[in-house]
Each structure stands twice: as C-alpha cells, then as structure tokens.
Structure 1
Amino acid sequence: MTSPYLCPNCKTNRSRYHILEQNPQAVKLNPQSGEIMEQYDSSSLDPFHLPYKGTSKRVQCGSCGLIEDEQSFIKFAESHPSNHK
C-alpha cells in the first residue's frame, strides 16, 4: 500500500480503512447440507471448477463501510488530489 486512498462513496475519507486480504479456498459442497465434501488446491481443481481470478486485496472504508477493490480507492484519490500537503 504505497498509494493514497480516497473513498469513492463518502468522498471525504482519506485515512481510515480496513485492508482485507483475500484467501480463496476451492471446495466442493454437499448441495443438500452445505457441508464441505472436498477441498482442492490450485493444481488439483476438477475440470468443472474454475480457478479464482479475483483480487488478492480488498479495502473497506472505515467511515462509510464501502468494500471495493483497492484500485477503486487509488484511482479515486488520483482523480481528486488532496489540497493539503
């Protein structure tokens, strides 16, 4: 995290955030009970199970609670530079 953030929702928060590290787990669930029947690693997915292609990090605004990809907060800060230096 080396770039400034600005929340695209509340448009005022530049300093209070939760950094959410994503740790995806590939699983096969029992359709009736929801119980985990099998866990996969990325090299052993079955042909009908696509690998995770999402981001590794999400950000939650500490003021309004918006959760988005980190790039949303970075891009919004870039397009609205701070006047306070």
Structure 2
Amino acid sequence: MSNPYLCPNCKTNRTRFNIMEQVPVSVKLDPGTGNLVHQYSEEESLDPFHLPYNGSSRLVQCAACGVTGEEEMFIKRAQSKPL
C-alpha cells in the first residue's frame, strides 16, 4: 500500500479509501437447502469440479463515492494523473 491512489470514478479523491482484505473460504453447499455440507481447509485438496479462488486478495473502495474495484485500478489512475 505504498502507492498513491486516485478514484477512477469521482476522479478527485486521493486520500479517503477503505481497504478490504479478502479471505476466500471454499465450501460445498446442499443444493436444496443451502446448508453447509463441507468446508475445505487450506491443506485439503478441492473436488475435481471445484476451482480454487484466483481473484484479488485486496479490494479498494473510494470513501467519497463508494466505487469498489481492484487496487491496481486506483494505482493506475493515480499514475496517469500525478499531482
């Protein structure tokens, strides 16, 4: 988090953001009830048809307008519009 941010939506906020750390939990649900059938541990391998999460570990939300997105999007916007 040592890069400056600029909101790509409101284009004015450079100071107020919410950083959201994502911690995915792989689960198997009952299709009829939605109840948890199984929660996979990090050491346990997933079913052949269960793909592992490959999204971002961090999302950023602009605390001025509320837009949420990948951290890189906020960094790139700040790089394209330096102070």
TM-score range normalised by the length of the shorter chain:
over 0.9
Equivalent residue number for residue 66 of structure 1:
67
| Deviation at residue 32 of structure 1 after TM alignment | 1.4
Matches within 5 A, 1:1-85: 1-42=1-42, 43-82=44-83
Question: 2:60 is paired with a residue of what secondary structure?
Answer: strand
| Deviation at residue 41 of structure 1 after TM alignment | 2.6
Question: How many residues are aligned here?
Answer: 82
Tell me the distance in 2 between the aligned counterparts of 1:41 and 1:70.
27
The alignment-based identity, stated in percent, is 57
Query: TM-score, structure 1 length as denominator?
Result: 0.92
What root-mean-square deviation, in Å, do the aligned CA atoms of Structure 1 and Structure 2 show? Answer: 0.9
Question: 1:19 is paired with a residue of what secondary structure?
Answer: strand
Query: TM-score, structure 2 length as denominator?
Result: 0.94
Show structure 1 runs of 5+ residues with no match: none
Which segments of structure 1 move beyond 2 Å, counting only runs of 4 or more? Answer: none
| Deviation at residue 31 of structure 1 after TM alignment | 1.1
